[in-house]
A and B are shown apart, each in its own frame.
Chain A
Amino acid sequence: MEVPILRQGQYLIASIQSALTDADLSHLREALIAQVGRSRCRGVIVDVTALDVMDSFAVRTLRDIAHMARLRGAETVIVGIQPDVAFAMVQLGLTLKGVATVLDLEEGLAFLDGRTKDRGLDPKHKRPPSGPFRG
């Protein structure tokens, strides 16, 4: 099952619609990282509300997405981890250390707005077409 990736302003929103296989997750990672460059976006939101379970592979893939996107200049935030899923993750000893997580999509957008402002980037404007990032 392919995960649709929507573009909203400077952000990409991947909203998972159903349970995903490992191959689906890997495909999502590749698609997101490619799109970060293609659409020159500043932020990525992965909505996992519909995920039935987050096991070690899912957690690792989400962590990889966040770290890879950061290397490509975009911040990632995971939204919608359900209470039962959080419970099982903690029992499994899985963490999303170093990855931002917020309650829902709305908070995810607010989080990215804050993040991109911190970096002196107005989310309403596209980033300069070329040249190195001058932080």
Chain B
Amino acid sequence: MGEELRLTIAADVDVVEARQQGRALAAVAGFSSGEQTVIAAAISEIARNILMYAKKGEITLSLVQNGDRQGVSIVASDQGPGIPDIDRAMQYGYSTSHGVGAGLPGAKRLMDEFDLRSTVGQGTTVTMKKWRRAN
């Protein structure tokens, strides 16, 4: 393993770059093209959230292994305003930015593991993983 890619998210081109890098890494991990697209979509949502709410942040992509299972890990962190009401932010269709409200809950649906930590005034970190189905 050891492959880790850190990407700065500060403009909308970075969102495209992050999801393309995520797709490439998912391909390395052996995910099907359908699953690569799912992973890319999750990264797109989470990266856009950084831009919308924190303006700037970072996404770290890496390969992970658990026993004989392979997967990808995506960590998105920012030092933005934080999320005052995490329960509501995770509600599908709830948005404070006139968005669709599919960002966080959408990404959660797409991934196998999803962990959100946020402190108001300090920032937000989303850690998500997708595991490859055993063939």
Contact = CB atoms under 8 A, between A and B. Distances in A.
Interface of A: 19-23, 52-57, 59-60, 83-85, 87-89, 91-94
Nearest to A82: B37
Interface of B: 12-13, 15-16, 19-20, 23, 33-34, 36-38, 40-41, 44-45, 48, 92, 99-100, 102-103, 105-106, 109-110
B15 A21 contact: yes
Contact of B37 (A23, A59, A87, A94): A87
Given A60-B100, A93-B102, A21 B16 contact: yes
A19 B20 contact: yes
A56 B100 contact: yes
Interface of B is mostly: helix
Pick from A20, A54, A84, A88 the residue with the most CB of B within 10 Å: A88
A94 B37 CA distance: 14
A53 B12 contact: no
Given A21-B16, A88-B37, 13 more contacts: A22-B12, A52-B20, A52-B37, A55-B44, A55-B45, A84-B37, A88-B38, A88-B40, A88-B41, A91-B109, A92-B41, A92-B110, A93-B92
